[in-house]
């Protein structure tokens, strides 16, 4: 009887001990689950969106990355982060680089950024002014830390051996053997932002894409009506860009250019001489006007072989929709306004020149 009582007692306590152990293990599991879930979550879900910039060196191990994230208060537990990486088996996929993160990010979001390599792309922001030539652009960009002048100029020539810019609007320009820089006129003036290591080709392609974006398809019909090529129109737009300094005069000057072409008169545009010289002289000499060059509109009738600058959208519009007028001449007023006197006859033009000279006094 005694042994039966002892046996019953032990059996009862063993069952109690098993239940207690199960409950204990269950509680530990729940607590561990809650702890891990908390550790996997954001460091501070109520924190501001303020950026935390970290740089993960090349060759960093999972331990190194965990330490870096912990030091920058982006994760709550280094061990949990390492086990998460092991569980997902993505340790080899984490990429080095400079990252922008937030304390509101969970470990899952952080790891996803590291896998995808969402690094901070250091960029340069630059502006191409309206009326800049290819050579001016090629000088400007290296000053901004982008490429070399020599490479920009070489690419802008687009020789037949290196037809690397696949744009339909360049087809006519590429045929012009007397044009040194085939991209002249098509590098659209605007403000751009490119990655720090952008190549010269990528930058020029970006500018060409912007020209393509600005061009309206229905303008092609206008070209057909005018019996002009796009290249000829861009050339006129570049002349307008270099001659007009006052917005309201762009379409008027475009009208004068069309009128002189119609009358088979030499355009006699000073800006074409300055383009030949490669400098902006405040005053041209008679010797300059005699330079035997296909761009010399004092010697040769009609348009120069190509654009003399990269025109902005307003000059392009003026070339497409010029003002219909009877003017054949214009001269700057020289009164500081940048405006011009316009004339229908040469006699009237001479009077305007006299008037302009009087404004200087």
261 and 294 in a common domain: yes
- C-alpha radius of gyration, the chain, whole number: 36
Give the model's pLDDT for residue 221: 94
136 and 105 in a common domain: no
Neighbour tally for 300: CB within 10 Å: 16
Give the model's pLDDT for residue 42: 79
- Assess if residue 58 is contained within a domain: yes
- Assess if residue 180 is contained within a domain: yes
Q: Which two tokens stand for residue 239?
A: 């002349």
Q: Give the CATH number of the domain where residue 357 resides.
A: 3.30.160
Helix segments in the chain, DSSP class H: 2-40, 62-71, 78-88, 107-116, 134-143, 149-157, 171-174, 200-214, 219-226, 230-243, 250-262, 270-277, 286-289, 313-320, 346-360
314 and 331 in a common domain: no
200 and 177 in a common domain: yes
Asked if residue 275 lies in contact with residue 295, where contact means CB atoms within 8 angstroms, the answer is: yes
- Assess if residue 358 is contained within a domain: yes
- Assess if residue 150 is contained within a domain: yes
Q: CB-hemisphere CA count at 13 Å for 31? A: 6
Tens-digit pLDDT string for the chain (361 aa): 545 545 544 455 565 657 776 776 767 767 656 766 666 667 776 666 678 888 999 889 999 998 999 899 888 888 888 888 888 898 899 999 888 888 888 888 888 989 988 888 788 899 999 999 999 999 999 998 899 999 999 999 986 555 678 888 998 999 998 999 999 999 999 999 998 889 999 999 999 999 999 999 999 999 999 999 999 999 999 999 999 999 999 999 999 999 999 999 999 999 999 999 987 777 888 888 899 999 999 999 999 999 999 999 999 999 999 999 999 999 999 888 999 999 999 999 999 999 998 887 6
Give the Cα-Cα-Cα angle 152, 229, 301 (nearest 5 degrees).
90
317 and 285 in a common domain: yes
- Assess if residue 75 is contained within a domain: yes
Q: What is the DSSP string of 122-179?
A: -EEEEE--TT--HHHHHHHHHHTT-S-HHHHHHHHH--GGG-----GGGHHHHT-TT-
Give the model's pLDDT for residue 37: 66
- Assess if residue 330 is contained within a domain: yes
313 and 285 in a common domain: yes
204 and 264 in a common domain: no
291 and 230 in a common domain: yes
Range of the domain at 61: 52-116
108 and 96 in a common domain: yes
- Assess if residue 189 is contained within a domain: yes
169 and 193 in a common domain: yes
Give the model's pLDDT for residue 271: 94
80 and 60 in a common domain: yes
Q: Which residues, other chains included, contact 12 with Cβ-Cβ below 8 Å and sequence gap of 6+? A: none
Domain count for the chain:
4
């Amino acid at each position: 009887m005694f042994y039966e009582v002892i046996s019953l007692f032990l059996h009862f306590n063993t069952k109690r001990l098993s239940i207690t152990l199960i409950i204990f293990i269950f509680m530990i599991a729940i607590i561990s689950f809650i702890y891990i879930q908390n550790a996997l979550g954001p460091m501070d879900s109520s924190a501001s969106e303020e950026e935390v910039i970290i740089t993960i060196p090349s060759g960093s191990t999972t331990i190194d990355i965990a330490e870096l994230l912990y030091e920058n208060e982006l994760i709550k537990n280094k061990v949990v982060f390492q086990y998460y990486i092991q569980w997902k088996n993505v340790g080899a996929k984490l990429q080095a680089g400079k990252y922008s993160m937030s304390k509101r990010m969970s470990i899952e979001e952080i790891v996803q950024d590291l896998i995808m390599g969402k690094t901070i792309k250091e960029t340069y922001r630059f502006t191409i002014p309206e009326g800049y030539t290819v050579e001016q652009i090629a000088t400007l960009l290296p000053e901004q830390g982008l490429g070399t002048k020599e490479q920009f100029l070489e690419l802008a020539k687009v020789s037949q051996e290196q037809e690397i810019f696949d744009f339909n609007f360049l087809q006519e320009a590429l045929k012009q053997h007397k044009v040194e820089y085939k991209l002249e006129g098509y590098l659209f003036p605007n403000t751009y932002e490119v990655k720090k290591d952008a190549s010269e080709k990528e930058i020029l392609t970006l500018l060409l894409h912007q020209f393509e974006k600005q061009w309206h398809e229905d303008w092609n019909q206008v070209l057909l009506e005018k019996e002009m090529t796009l290249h000829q129109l861009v050339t006129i737009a570049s002349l307008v860009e270099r001659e007009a300094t006052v917005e309201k005069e762009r379409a008027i000057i475009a009208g004068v250019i069309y009128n002189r072409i119609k009358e088979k008169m030499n355009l006699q545009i000073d800006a074409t001489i300055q383009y030949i010289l490669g400098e902006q002289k405040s005053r041209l000499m008679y010797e300059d006007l005699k330079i035997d060059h296909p761009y010399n509109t004092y010697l040769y009738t009609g348009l120069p072989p190509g654009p003399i600058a990269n025109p902005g959208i307003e000059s392009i519009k003026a070339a497409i929709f010029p003002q219909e007028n009877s003017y054949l001449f214009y001269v700057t007023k020289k009164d500081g306004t940048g405006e011009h006197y316009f004339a229908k006859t040469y006699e009237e033009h001479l009077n305007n020149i006299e008037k302009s000279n009087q404004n200087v006094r």
